[in-house]
């Protein structure tokens, strides 16, 4: 049995919350032309750094907005603020700058591996550029000023998306969560505060942004992730020892269903894909975990509608999902040679 570190950490995200001097916070910001001006200044500055796609949220269709949201590039708040909001998204989708979400800017950097420092470095470069467009509101004592006091100080949120099938199935998350809370950290389902832990994905991030340096925050999150990864790997091992055949049966059945079904709903799909990912993690399958994560995102409702080129109803999406994902998984050729009797 092969267990890799990569089989637990799905992605790393660093987010900085910033506000400009001389502009009211977005919730009090009614002047559309001033908002446009802000957007132009930021976009112009960023165009020096990388290729960005600029989305004025009032010009983006509901469907397109849903696609961006499913891809973790924008938030519901940004969509709701559409009169004044915009998003700048880099071509490779690693950088997303939301303008006039809760704060004037929310700068995010995504990495599909576990490297908080690299992500922080990258987003700091973007942050420096944006600061050149308009000066940030900064207080020597409080640090960066934010619309919500919970983001005051560094304005930094370091998040790591974790795939924790063993902890979830063995009902161990409720033991872990109080420990993390004590460290000033929170755990949420993959799709934000209100979502359950679909696909056994959990987002670990710092709660506190004030009274700690950026370095402190990164260190605390980093070491919590390391502990979680070790705990998860240990519990995966225990699962294999307790009922290896049962586990192998479950992941192979999930693969069999995904590659043969004619329709599959979003919830079942997430659950079967979690099994297949666990199969890759345990060496039952050959495969690229990131390709499986991509497929999970591609099969969310708005992303399916986009792939299909027209909006489907739920039943239509279930059939599309079965066909598309089945084909994608067969092309990945996951079954392990040794197992192919």
8-20 burial, b if ≥16 CB within 10 A, otherwise e?
bbbbbbbbbbbbb
Q: Does 263 bind its own copies (CB under 8 A)?
A: yes
**Site residues (CB under 8 A) for its own copies, limited to 150-179:** none
Q: How far is the CB of 245 from its own copies (least distance, A)?
A: 6
- Choosing from 125, 135, 196, 256, the residue that interacts with its own copies (CB under 8 A) is 256
Whose CA is closest to 136, among 158, 104, 98? Answer: 104
Q: Which region, judged by CB under 8 A, interacts with its own copies, from 107-115, 222-230, 252-260, 290-298?
A: 252-260
Q: How far is the CB of 282 from its own copies (least distance, A)?
A: 12
Coil, strand, or helix at residue 120?
A: helix
Q: Does 298 bind its own copies (CB under 8 A)?
A: no
Q: CB neighbours of 41 closer than 8 A, spacing ≥ 6?
A: 133, 134
Q: How far is the CB of 169 from its own copies (least distance, A)?
A: 18
Q: Does 91 bind its own copies (CB under 8 A)?
A: no
Q: Does 267 bind its own copies (CB under 8 A)?
A: no
Q: How far is the CB of 121 from its own copies (least distance, A)?
A: 44
Nearer to its own copies, 142 or 315 (CB): 315
Q: How far is the CB of 99 from its own copies (least distance, A)?
A: 42
Q: Does 257 bind its own copies (CB under 8 A)?
A: yes
Q: Does 323 bind its own copies (CB under 8 A)?
A: yes
Residues that contact its own copies, how many (by CB under 8 A): 21
- Choosing from 51, 260, 267, 308, the residue that interacts with its own copies (CB under 8 A) is 260
Structure tokens at 104: 């004037």
Helix (H) or strand (E) run with residue 40 in it: helix 32-46
Q: Quote the CA–CA distance of 157 and 208 in Å, as a whole number.
A: 8
List beta partners, residue 160.
Answer: 12, 204
Residues 185, 224: contact at Cβ < 8 Å? yes
Helix (H) or strand (E) run with residue 108 in it: strand 105-111
Residues 330, 104: contact at Cβ < 8 Å? no
Q: Does 36 bind its own copies (CB under 8 A)?
A: no
Q: How far is the CB of 320 from its own copies (least distance, A)?
A: 12
**Site residues (CB under 8 A) for its own copies, limited to 230-249:** 245-246, 248-249
Q: Quote the CA–CA distance of 322 and 301 in Å, as a whole number.
A: 13
Q: Does 255 bind its own copies (CB under 8 A)?
A: yes
Q: How far is the CB of 265 from its own copies (least distance, A)?
A: 11
- Residue 236: CB atoms within 10 Å: 24
Structure tokens at 302: 């708005």
Structure tokens at 228: 């979680």
Q: What are phi and psi of 336, to 5 degrees?
A: -70, 130
- Choosing from 30, 53, 327, 333, the residue that interacts with its own copies (CB under 8 A) is 327
Nearer to its own copies, 73 or 239 (CB): 239
Vertex 124: Cα angle to 13 and 23 (nearest 5): 100
> How many contiguous H segments (helices) and E segments (strands) does the chain have?
11, 10
Q: How far is the CB of 276 from its own copies (least distance, A)?
A: 11
- Choosing from 166, 261, 270, 302, the residue that interacts with its own copies (CB under 8 A) is 261
List beta partners, residue 138.
Answer: 144
Q: Does 262 bind its own copies (CB under 8 A)?
A: yes
Q: How far is the CB of 206 from its own copies (least distance, A)?
A: 41
Which stretches of the chain bind its own copies, using CB under 8 A?
Answer: 245-246, 248-249, 252-253, 255-263, 319, 322-323, 326-327, 341
């Amino acid at each position: 049995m092969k267990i890799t570190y990569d089989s637990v950490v799905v992605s790393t995200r660093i987010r900085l919350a910033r506000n400009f001097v001389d502009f009211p916070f977005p919730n009090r910001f009614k002047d559309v032309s001033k908002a446009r001006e802000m957007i132009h200044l930021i976009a112009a500055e960023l165009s020096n750094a990388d290729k960005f796609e600029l989305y004025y949220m009032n010009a983006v269709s509901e469907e397109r907005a849903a696609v961006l949201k499913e891809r973790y590039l924008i938030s519901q708040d940004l969509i709701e603020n559409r009169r004044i909001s915009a998003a700048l998204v880099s071509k490779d989708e690693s950088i997303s700058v939301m303008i006039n979400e809760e704060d004037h800017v929310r700068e995010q950097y995504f990495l599909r591996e576990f490297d908080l420092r690299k992500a922080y470095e990258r987003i700091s470069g973007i942050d420096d550029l944006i600061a050149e467009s308009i000066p940030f509101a900064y207080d020597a004592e409080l640090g960066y000023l934010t619309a919500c006091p919970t983001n005051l100080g560094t304005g930094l949120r370091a998040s790591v998306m974790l795939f924790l099938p063993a902890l979830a199935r063995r009902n161990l998350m409720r033991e872990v969560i109080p420990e993390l809370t004590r460290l000033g950290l929170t755990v949420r389902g993959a799709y934000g505060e209100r979502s359950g832990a679909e696909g056994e994905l959990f987002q670990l991030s710092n709660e506190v942004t004030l009274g700690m340096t950026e370095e402190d925050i990164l260190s605390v999150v980093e070491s919590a992730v390391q502990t979680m990864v070790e705990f998860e790997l240990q519990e995966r091992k225990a699962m294999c020892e307790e009922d290896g055949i049962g586990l192998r049966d479950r992941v192979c059945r999930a693969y069999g269903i995904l590659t043969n079904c004619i329709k599959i709903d979003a919830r079942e799909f997430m659950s079967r894909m979690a099994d297949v990912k666990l199969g890759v993690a345990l060496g039952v399958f050959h495969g690229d975990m990131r390709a499986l994560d991509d497929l999970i995102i591609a099969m969310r409702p708005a992303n399916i509608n986009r792939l299909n080129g027209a909006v489907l109803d739920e039943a239509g999406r279930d059939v599309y999902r079965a066909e598309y994902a089945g084909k994608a998984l067969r092309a990945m050729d996951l079954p392990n040679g040794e197992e192919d009797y």
